[in-house]
């Protein structure tokens, strides 16, 4: 019934798949991924440390969070 498609959540999601954002890593999640926010929206980013300022590319979005990767 529910399709895993970022367009379904576009009205509440301030980030878009494929877009890049400059963020500051604010903390760490339970799995060790860094946590950043864009307009209060949580983005999980692997391989970063708290306090880092990085550019991330969004890979996947969900209703309440997204996954991204650091752009080199």
Query: In order of start, what are the domains of the chain with their CATH numbers?
Result: 6-70 (2.40.50.140)
Q: What per-residue confidence (pLDDT) applies to 5? A: 45
pTM: 0.81
Extract the tokens encoding 29: 């999640």
Nearest Cα to 30, choosing from 15, 46, 52?
Answer: 46
**Average pLDDT, rounded, for the chain:** 88
Residues 39, 43: Cα–Cα separation, whole Å: 11
CA distances from 40 to 1, 15, 35, 37 (A): 28, 11, 11, 5
Q: What is the pLDDT of residues 2-19, one digit of tens each?
A: 344 444 444 579 999 999
Q: Which H or E run contains 22?
A: strand 20-24
């Amino acid at each position: 019934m529910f399709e895993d498609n970022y367009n379904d959540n576009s009205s509440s999601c301030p980030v878009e798949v494929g877009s890049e954002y400059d963020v500051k890593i604010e903390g760490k999640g339970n799995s060790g991924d860094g946590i950043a926010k864009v307009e209060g929206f949580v983005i999980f980013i692997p391989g970063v440390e708290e306090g880092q300022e990085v550019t991330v590319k969004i890979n996947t979005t969900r209703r309440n969070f997204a996954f991204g990767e650091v752009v080199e």
